[in-house]
Copies of this chain bind each other. A is one copy, B any other.
């Protein structure tokens, strides 16, 4: 496995792969790799001829008061993880090479970048969209893999890829959770034991909501009330049910939706979400009815 540091070297490496007829998969990360990242790397390794894992803590998606400086950096063990999973290259450019002194260009995905996390982190998604574009332009992937845990990010990137004609397939994989339900996140390591215990109410709230949805509840307000009730001991940033593609709030659940929450636990901000599609739910209920009737 090789480590590539510059944009030009990355592009040349990928062009060589493609010239040999090989497909390239990209797993964009900020490092501090956990089992969620591993599931993305494994998916790419099983599907693409070569897998590039980018490791770059992107300053453009942090506000000045946020945790850019303290974000966990575990580069050596990350490289070992990528190598052990069969990745071909780690792309780890420097912040200085990525954002020069007179850097000026940003991608805005209007509307989708504004709600949910965009409310408290107004420049977050333009930072994400910009760095992902830069990674795409250097790695030249056929496919790129993202975790559904960052649900708004997936929606923003999908829209950007479609709008800007990138011709790259976006693969979103399910959130990986601890046995007790906590969604894996590099930021979980900020949590003290008592904070971690309190953080469990986030996934508990989402699972309660899923039960209501599967039982046929379609009123978004009632579900969000229950979510907020289960999360009453933490500081909720938002809890909302939105259209899964447009990210606009819905009142009644008729198409595919995302229930997304963000909460502050001490100094740590955590996000989580579930997706739900009433059509799929109806189909699987009918399937169960047919199976039990047979």
Contacts and interface: CB of A to CB of B under 8 A. Distances in A.
B104 A105 contact: no
Contacts of A100: 162-163
Interface stretch (A108-116, A230-238, A279-287): A108-116
Interface residues of A, number: 32
Contacts of A164: 105, 130, 133-134, 137
A105 B108 contact: yes
Give this chain's copy count. Answer: 2
Contact of A165 (B106, B138, B160): B138
A13 interface: no
Nearest to A108: B106
A7 to B, nearest CB: 5
Contacts of A107: 105-108
Contacts of A162: 100
A140 B274 CA distance: 37
Q: Which of A102, A109, A165, A246 has the most CB of B within 10 A?
A: A165
A218 interface: no
A91 B7 CA distance: 28
A11 B161 CA distance: 14
A138 B109 contact: no
Contacts of A246: 102
A159 interface: yes
A166 interface: yes
Contacts of A159: 104-105
Interface string A87-128: 000000000000010111111111110000000000000000
Nearest to A160: B105
Nearest to A15: B18
A137 B140 CA distance: 10
A104 B163 contact: yes
Contacts of A134: 163-165
A163 B108 contact: no
Contacts of A19: 19
Interface in A54-106: 100, 102-106
Given A105-B163, A137-B167, 6 more contacts: A103-B163, A104-B111, A105-B107, A105-B110, A105-B159, A134-B165
6 contacts: A18-B18, A100-B162, A104-B163, A105-B129, A133-B164, A134-B164
For the complex of A and B, list the 3 residue pairs with the smallest distance between their C-beta atoms, beginning with the closest.
A105-B163, A137-B165, A7-B165
